[in-house]
Structure 1
Amino acid sequence: MENRKTVLISDLSEGKTSPRVIATDWQRIPYTCREFSGVMVMAHGTMSVPDICLDPKLTGWYRIYTGMLHTVGDEGADNLTGFALSGDRFPRYFEHYYQGNFDRAPLIAEAFWKAADMTGQSVRIIHPENGRPCLSNAAYLKFVPMSGEEVAEELADWADASRKKLIATHDMHAAFCKNPQTTEDLVAEIAPFAESDASHIMLEYYFDAKDPAFTDWFFTSMDGYETFAGTGDRFFHTSRAGFVARGEDPYPAMAEYARSLGMKVGFAYRVNMFAAHPPWDIGFNAKIFRENPQWRCVDRDGSEIARLSFAFPEMAAVMFDLFRRMIRSGADGVHLLFCRGVPNILYEKPLTDAFYAETGLNAFELDEEDERYIDFRCRYFTENFMVPLKQAIIDEAQKLGRKEKPFLSVHALADRRTNRFFAIDLEDWAARGLVELAVAYPSIMHAPDDFCYNKQQTVDLGFYAWLTEHYGLATAVDLLPRGVNPAEIVRRANEVYDAGIENICIWDTYSYPHRKAFWPVVRRLGHKKMLKDGSLLAPPMQFTEVLSMNGLKVDKYNPWWCL
């Protein structure tokens, strides 16, 4: 290691003094700990401040750690700080959320950032400025030298394709809620996945920038309300509208960058995201739904269901057009989010008439789970929607001169019974070669009037393992780890692999890279050995007690009265 030593940079002041909050520069806060002292930097709210720039004057490879004050944030503000090396295209943002008791002194949380060759590189510390209030801080940077053997292991790990077992999802709503103004702002959303085990990334598709009329008619929006559910939703609306007004399509650049990182790119759609009951109708109230009541789903009792039915050829044609647009915008394939959009076909006239013509039976007189009607509904949906959809995206790719056929993948439901009830016939689709990947999502039907969204750990692992074994269909299980700790994520991942399923999916994967306790686990869910031996759960953070800040003693009588 050429006698290189660990370097701790705890004075981030750039030689400046600004201990009080001012609107145009970072607050520079002298602090002391038991073993070292320094000057941390902090920026509040919507302050516009220059980046902190530091040159550690290092050569060779180092593991880099950030030290951030682990405290509650400003009320109503994000808690994010950006860090970037001079050679990085995009910063990495980390949260400094508080986990602990209010009777404790403030802590500095140290977490791993990245391994990098620091030769000739400087560091920037960044306060996000996108119109949303944000509290940013940094207390120190630590550089731990790597041996030649460690560097070789790191590079080999990055190049190991066998670990690419993570199916990443990005709903893109969160991206637009950040108020992106350029394509580059959205491409940055992909950057954290460079350090992950992701083989695929599924990006939700929210507009066709080249066709404002279609975008206005088809996609959910808040047009005409003159009010928004929150600041994020306002930005979601205004930033998307800006891209459409400029005719600027960010999706091709996002796809190109993801491919440069070794991922396949699917553009995803929640297959019936047209309407919702209050209060969600402020965002889910598309014109296509309002203007076409004749295309709505019909239940067994003849009542209308707030979905549009793909049994109607006109509606199916609209969906085929949507997915062709995705291919034109640069997707390697399309991903159907059935987990956020069933039913899509129930008892509509084209379907029930065809059933009667073939069987002489009245579907409305049968039990809801009568296998004769379930079988027919599955076959009808396969032949009238899935087969032509597959052909439509293949034809579109051929028009564009692509050599590789686009993939078709799905987020399906928890078990065979639930899937088939909603006409998701994974066995038939696998046998016909219609889908290349099926992700199991924990939404399950206990009875036709008892369908549970987001019911964690309800996936029938045996069924999905059998699909792979019998048909060769690639499968994954969405762990949906909401409200659980990293240890539980590891346990669930091991359970999936032990069942014979080869891939893991994490819903809203984009929500983890800034979470320092979670990302070290989530990004490496393809590392089976580390999952098994427990090394993936090595402490992601180290904590150092702060004794004083800005001359105030905080270790004994900590002033939590402000909260």
Structure 2
Amino acid sequence: MSDNLSWHLRFALLFSLLSTSATYLAAAEPTSAQQQLPRPHSEQWQNFKQAECITDLTRCLPADALSNRRQHNKWKVFEYETAEFSGKCISVGRESSAPDLTLKLGKEGWHAVYIGLSSITDLVRPAKNNVEVKFTSDPAYTRLSNRLDLGPQRRDVLEEVFLGTVDLTNNDLQFSTVYHMPARIHYVKTIPLTDEEVARLNADRTQQKTKTAVATFDGYTWIHPFRPQNRADLAATFSAYRDSDFKTWWFQVGGADLVHHPSQVGNLMGAQLDTFPREVDREYVESVRHLHQQGIDPLKVAVEEAHRQQAEILICLRAAGWKAAPPWEEFFMSEFYEAHPEWRCIDYDGTPTMHLSYAAEEVQDHLIEVYREALQRGADGAGFLFHRGMPMILWEEPFCKRFIKEYGKDPRQLAEDDPRVLQLRATIVTEFMRKIRKLLDEVATQRGTPGRRLKLAVSTFSTPADNRKFGLEVERWIDEKLIDQIGIAWFAYYTSGLKSRSGDTAYYARITEGTDVKIFPFYIGWKMESADSLLKSVARDNEQGADGIAVWDPNQFVTWQKGRHPYWPLVSKLGHRQHIRDGSLIFKPTTIPLTRLGENYYSRWYPNTGF
């Protein structure tokens, strides 16, 4: 056993004693567990004191992929030091094309594995960083990053990031670069697991009771930051979900009829452009074009990866995803929208909007065909996201003609909130819901499984009043058995939820009681700020009758508190209700300041101030 084996434990204790703040689970009656300081993630294992660390990453192979100089096709080696240990790390920059590396571990049996990643400075500020890591037994890489702030005097800090638990017999580690992302890997830590821990882990992976969380994927950000070139690159998006509670995926294809799969019905965002609003838009289009040229269907890959994880995946469309304002007017642009100006929504005062009206049967039927084509990939159902967004129906000619036919009055001569106007909107939207349900039943029959119900999910608004305003007859859809899942989307524009920042979970629990319809209050990955407030809110929603939690963009957590609590060990287990109550999903980050990196001996004199 090397001299470095005990460095982590000693430093973790030192860091704990120096910590200036204690975080408690916010609850009316904190339990004794909740009153304790969170422990590092690695200390949950019985044998954490037997941890072994590899701090010399020059053991990675092939050796000729390593260099003491910056080269685009090499990993650069740095000597480094901390207060407790030293080693040799490997680093890549934004423009790297360095090959994948393998690190032989030489272990047998089950272990918990952690990767020590460094913060990266952008001269004077912390920069985004990302690296892909996998066990050789894994089907795909997992993306990991250091989420910590820089230390005092802009000192780089190491964060110990949990990779997973696995049988390491004949199993090693592999590292890969992420497009345009720097990274620096400093150490690998392994902790042997007891037989009892292994049994508990395997039981948790196979049980279904906690697998109640919903993850959304927006159809865009799983592609543009990573520049995927092959199927494996796409699959890396999903590998972190493998042992999580996210066993329902609401997978968006882009917009209403804007899609990223080969299509004869919808169209690719920005497909016709050779100049783009943003670099990320170019990256998205060029990536999807390349994948199509290689015969790779991104949507089919997503369906296959969901099923590989025994997750259900529903293909979701956005209500108003037709066209965006400049400078995105030719990027987010539906060809169907462009071809039919006669079906665009017209406001009460006659102002045209950039929405298509669902009062036009042709608009509904077009989206039914988008669904029909997408479902050929084998998805488990469909979803319609009303919160992205309103309006669907205003005072355009198709609506007015039908209103006059049914009521003998011109709705433009009535109050905006006339009950008849609201009722006709609701009737039209319900007719669309019936069409989707009919399609799903047809697809099940065509697949040779007529007894299997393909699920229909909808996102709705915070309150019944919000739903009525835009024609969402949720209670009727439940009574008619049209829908199966409801995401309570408090963050919809033009609704009360934007002020309350919450939805009426208790109301939805009442209207679904005694039915098979499940309700999922929404949380937003990029609006989560605190582990304490998250657990408090989730516990409240559970008590009010939620069947599970839905997370919008769970992989986008830019506002998550830095340096306080690891994000994924908490968010990936939101179905574990007992752990939500007792606070045991909150962990303290293992934070290790560097004292030297190469020639930079960290001191009060920061070297980059001259640039």
TM-score (norm 2): 0.84
| Separation of aligned partners in 2, 1:7 and 1:259 | 35
Matching residue within 519, 537, 555 for 1:492: 537
Q: Does the 8 Å CA contact 1:68/1:137 hold for their aligned counterparts?
A: yes
Cα RMSD for the two superposed structures:
2.7
> Which residue identity lines up with residue 462 of structure 2 in the other structure?
A
| Separation of aligned partners in 1, 2:173 and 2:284 | 31
Task: Name the structure 2 match of 1:519.
Answer: 568
* 1:224-251 Cα deviation digits (max 9, x unpaired): 3x31122221121122233445554232
Query: Is 1:9 matched with 2:54?
Result: yes
| Separation of aligned partners in 2, 1:270 and 1:127 | 33
Query: Is 1:333 matched with 2:381?
Result: yes
Query: Is 1:402 matched with 2:453?
Result: no
* 1:89-146 Cα deviation digits (max 9, x unpaired): 1111111244145525322111221111111111112222xxx422011000000111
> Which residue identity lines up with residue 269 of structure 2 in the other structure?
T
Q: Does the 8 Å CA contact 1:208/1:244 hold for their aligned counterparts?
A: no
Between stretches 346-355 and 313-322, larger displacement belongs to: 346-355
Give unpaired runs (5+ residues) of structure 2. 1-45
* 1:49-105 Cα deviation digits (max 9, x unpaired): 232322121111111111111233579975111111111111111112441455253
Task: Name the structure 2 match of 1:135.
Answer: 182
Q: Does the 8 Å CA contact 2:260/2:269 hold for their aligned counterparts?
A: no
Query: Is 1:548 matched with 2:596?
Result: yes
Give unpaired runs (5+ residues) of structure 1. none
Q: How does 1:208-287 map to 2 (within 5 A)?
A: 209-211=261-263, 213-216=264-267, 219-221=268-270, 223-224=272-273, 226-245=274-293, 248-287=296-335
- 1:479 aligns to what SS in structure 2? strand
| Separation of aligned partners in 2, 1:337 and 1:551 | 53
Between stretches 361-370 and 474-483, larger displacement belongs to: 361-370
Task: Name the structure 1 match of 2:518.
Answer: 474
| Separation of aligned partners in 2, 1:251 and 1:402 | 22
| Separation of aligned partners in 1, 2:96 and 2:242 | 30
| Separation of aligned partners in 2, 1:11 and 1:556 | 27
Between stretches 317-326 and 371-380, larger displacement belongs to: 371-380
Q: Does the 8 Å CA contact 2:150/2:156 hold for their aligned counterparts?
A: no
Matching residue within 53, 58, 66 for 2:102: 53
Deviation at 1:3, TM superposition (A): 12
- 1:195 aligns to what SS in structure 2? coil
Matching residue within 57, 60, 72 for 1:23: 72
| Separation of aligned partners in 1, 2:492 and 2:52 | 52
* 1:244-272 Cα deviation digits (max 9, x unpaired): 45554232332122122121111111122
| Separation of aligned partners in 1, 2:120 and 2:180 | 16
Query: Is 1:39 matched with 2:84?
Result: no
Provide closer, same or farther for how the CA distance between residues 18 and 562 of structure 1 changes in structure 2, counting only shifts above 3 A: farther
Q: Does the 8 Å CA contact 1:521/1:536 hold for their aligned counterparts?
A: yes
Q: How does 1:152-163 map to 2 (within 5 A)?
A: 152-163=199-210
Q: Does the 8 Å CA contact 1:220/1:273 hold for their aligned counterparts?
A: no
Provide closer, same or farther for how the CA distance between residues 292 and 329 of structure 1 changes in structure 2, counting only shifts above 3 A: same
Task: Name the structure 2 match of 1:200.
Answer: 248
Provide closer, same or farther for how the CA distance between residues 298 and 325 of structure 1 changes in structure 2, counting only shifts above 3 A: same
Deviation at 1:274, TM superposition (A): 1.0
Task: Name the structure 2 match of 1:360.
Answer: 408
Number of paired residues?
A: 550
Deviation at 1:22, TM superposition (A): 2.8
| Separation of aligned partners in 1, 2:135 and 2:478 | 45
Of all paired residues, the percent bearing the same amino acid is: 24
- 1:179 aligns to what SS in structure 2? coil
* 1:306-325 Cα deviation digits (max 9, x unpaired): 11111111111101111111
Provide closer, same or farther for how the CA distance between residues 231 and 426 of structure 1 changes in structure 2, counting only shifts above 3 A: same
Q: Does the 8 Å CA contact 2:151/2:157 hold for their aligned counterparts?
A: no
| Separation of aligned partners in 1, 2:311 and 2:383 | 14
Provide closer, same or farther for how the CA distance between residues 2 and 415 of structure 1 changes in structure 2, counting only shifts above 3 A: closer
> Which residue identity lines up with residue 467 of structure 1 in the other structure?
I
Q: Does the 8 Å CA contact 2:126/2:149 hold for their aligned counterparts?
A: no
Provide closer, same or farther for how the CA distance between residues 22 and 419 of structure 1 changes in structure 2, counting only shifts above 3 A: same
Provide closer, same or farther for how the CA distance between residues 113 and 375 of structure 1 changes in structure 2, counting only shifts above 3 A: same
| Separation of aligned partners in 2, 1:426 and 1:3 | 51
Deviation at 1:511, TM superposition (A): 2.7
| Separation of aligned partners in 1, 2:319 and 2:149 | 38
| Separation of aligned partners in 1, 2:126 and 2:275 | 19
Deviation at 1:208, TM superposition (A): 7.0
Provide closer, same or farther for how the CA distance between residues 452 and 184 of structure 1 changes in structure 2, counting only shifts above 3 A: farther
Q: Does the 8 Å CA contact 2:212/2:575 hold for their aligned counterparts?
A: yes
| Separation of aligned partners in 1, 2:325 and 2:414 | 29
Provide closer, same or farther for how the CA distance between residues 562 and 84 of structure 1 changes in structure 2, counting only shifts above 3 A: farther
| Separation of aligned partners in 1, 2:498 and 2:294 | 37
